[in-house]
Chain A
Amino acid sequence: MIRGDGPRRWPPGNLRARLSAAFLLGVAILAILAPLVAGHSPTQQNAMPFSEMSADHWLGTDDLGRDVWARLVYGARASLLAAFVAVVVGVGIGVPIGLVSGFYGGWTDAILMRIADAFLSFPGIILAIAITAVLGSGLLHAMVAVGIVFSPSIARLMRGQVLVTKERGYVEAASTFGSPSWWIVVRHILPNAIQPVVIQATFMLGLAVLAEASLSFVGLGVQYPNPSFGVMLRSAAQFTAIDPMGVYPPGLAIALLVLAFNALGDSLRDIL
């Protein structure tokens, strides 16, 4: 598809970027200030189960009488942190592999890209489940697993960029002047090839929020009683017959967060 060929959406480009960035910043501030803004403990019973919304409990309470707002705020903490860990791991593995593969070419490139292709032939979530099973369940392990799943596509993207950048005049000039190859890669190629990776990483933050929710929902991510959006959905899911509204706060939180990351990624692509 041609770049910038997307449908006109409301709000338009720049405003959309600002709105989504502002929303994400707001969520991040809430998450950081969780102990101050939560009002209640996220893990202790502080009212009757399934209490209605009230001044004391803005979003009511869950099946164990825990404050839903408090769990949402602490859950945002876990979910955002998890997403960052996954993307940092993915970029940390993918970028060096892509740099080496694209810069050296030849057999190194052929072998590394074959391995990346092999990784890409696993459905992402299933590979993440398998890696989590090996590492042992828990949020950190689950997110390292998701990062590993992300890394081959980052590596492929990075490699493609390096191949283009490598041919540029300033890179040739640097190598004519005898700069060592590591210096050329770090000083000249990386900064000029990283942009698409930054955009991709923004989309991956959204994907990672979804992955955290999925893995925690099936019991492999965040462990009880700590909240995350996935854990909240897991317990709300068991009580949909009694409290059908319980699935909305965490579900909407996930959807909005992912929407914001996607919108930010789209806008970055248009702006950069």
Chain B
Amino acid sequence: MKRMLIGRIAALIPTVLLASFIAFVLVQLAPGDASTILAGENATAERIEEIRRRLGFDRSLIEQYWTWLSHAARGDLGASVISQESIAAAIGRTLPITLHLVVGALMVAVTLGVIAGVASARRADTAIDAVIASFSSAGAAMPSFWLGLVLVSIFALRLDWLPATGFVSLAADPASALRHLVLPSIALGAVGAAEIARQLRGVLIEILASDHVRTLRAKGLAERRVVWVHALRGAAVPLLTIIGLQVSRLLGATVVVEAVFGIQGVGTLVVDAANNRDYYVVQGVVVVMAAIVILINFAVDVCYRISDPRIR
């Protein structure tokens, strides 16, 4: 167990280094660097050169990367060229908001996905199965942000059941927070639900046909218990893998969904920065997002190995 963990962490290092290097180099490729912005208009070449030296832009790429990485590892991602706000602070302010959305969407995706997946596996090749399959094909093809717009126009503007835009923290006012989270969570979670239903169906059909399940049925266990307890337990690890993949997709999809619901999360931060060419903010967000994805993949991988000793 301990050896496996150490091995996994060691395998993580090159990925983390390469991902951070990609994020670093990406910004170096941008036309013009911060010195031209800081020097202002009509700056002389000497003035720009002086700023470049002061900021360390005259050193080798690897040297600059190392300096940047050692700062980043201590939580210092630099400052926005436009607002001067510390990038770590900006991400710290917006990330919890985005995570609210991601967790809400995951809850929607897992609940709907598991119910639909179980229903279609139990009734494989029936009309119900076909209906669920059609819904999940449609769900997978719909842009989350469009679904968000449709939900807003129906449930917020026409029926006035739920707020159309905005975000309230769970800590500040739980009831209002949940009301604000419902529509964006459904918009974001629908695609995930379709994916979970589709994959879970395949896994469950295989498990339900296994000797292990036949034995459980033979000893007279209620079908409901067989499916919801025993078969689902067998499907837990593949399910966890699908959910892990969904987190990465959700972190991306939330960018556009935040724009629909006027939510000031990481997505809005990175989109505004990209539109204003505030490269360092973009870089900071990219690095933090990659770190989250790598950590989640790591956690899923470890769970996978713990639950199935054959792949240690």
B-contacting residues of A (Cβ < 8 Å)? Answer: 1-2, 5-10, 114-115, 117-119, 121-127, 129-134, 136-137, 206, 210, 213-214, 217-220, 233, 236-237, 240-241, 244, 247-248, 250-251, 254-256, 258-259, 262-263
Contacts and interface: CB of A to CB of B under 8 A. Distances in A.
B29 interface: yes
Give the size category of B's interface with A. Answer: 35 or more
A248 B150 CA distance: 8
A120 to B, nearest CB: 9
A269 to B, nearest CB: 14
A233 B149 contact: yes
Contact of B199 (A1, A126, A132, A262): A1
A244 B143 contact: no
Contact of A218 (B201, B271, B293): B271
B143 A255 contact: yes
Contacts, number: 174
B143 A133 contact: no
19 contacts: A1-B199, A7-B125, A7-B130, A115-B18, A115-B22, A121-B19, A121-B294, A122-B22, A122-B293, A124-B249, A126-B251, A133-B273, A213-B143, A214-B255, A217-B256, A251-B146, A251-B150, A259-B137, A262-B137
B124 A7 contact: yes
A8 B129 contact: yes
A136 B31 CA distance: 9
Given A9-B130, A132-B274, A220-B275, A123 B137 contact: no
The 5 closest A-B pairs by CB, nearest first: A123-B252, A118-B18, A125-B252, A133-B274, A1-B202
A220 B271 contact: yes
Given A114-B14, A217-B259, A255-B141, A134 B29 contact: yes
A262 B130 contact: no
Interface stretch (B41-49, B51-59, B224-232, B283-291): B283-291
A133 B129 contact: no
Contacts of B149: 233, 236-237, 240, 247, 251
Given A9-B130, A251-B149, A258-B141, A123 B249 contact: yes
B245 to A, nearest CB: 11
Nearest to A218: B271
Nearest to B258: A218
B288 to A, nearest CB: 10
Contacts of A7: 120, 124-125, 129-130, 132-133, 201
A173 to B, nearest CB: 36
B210 interface: no
Given A129-B255, A130-B282, A218-B259, A9 B133 contact: yes
A65 to B, nearest CB: 21
A129 B137 contact: no
A236 B251 CA distance: 25
Interface of B: 14-15, 18-19, 21-23, 26-27, 29-31, 120, 124-125, 129-130, 132-134, 137-138, 140-143, 145-146, 149-150, 152-154, 157-158, 199, 201-203, 205-206, 248-249, 251-253, 255-256, 259-260, 270-271, 273-275, 277, 279, 282-283, 285-286, 289-290, 293-294, 297
A239 to B, nearest CB: 10
Contacts of B201: 7
B72 to A, nearest CB: 15
Contacts of A247: 146, 149-150, 153
Given A114-B15, A118-B18, A137-B275, A130 B286 contact: yes
B143 A254 contact: yes
Contacts of B279: 133-134
B282 A129 contact: yes
A123 B294 CA distance: 10
B125 A8 contact: yes
A126 B253 CA distance: 9
B202 A130 contact: no
A136 B15 CA distance: 27
B143 A214 contact: yes
A117 B297 CA distance: 11
B137 A9 contact: yes
A218 B144 CA distance: 13
A250 B27 CA distance: 34
A218 B256 contact: yes
A263 B137 contact: yes
Given A5-B205, A214-B255, 19 more contacts: A1-B202, A8-B133, A9-B130, A122-B290, A125-B256, A126-B251, A131-B26, A132-B274, A133-B279, A134-B279, A210-B143, A217-B256, A217-B259, A218-B271, A236-B149, A251-B142, A254-B142, A254-B146, A258-B143
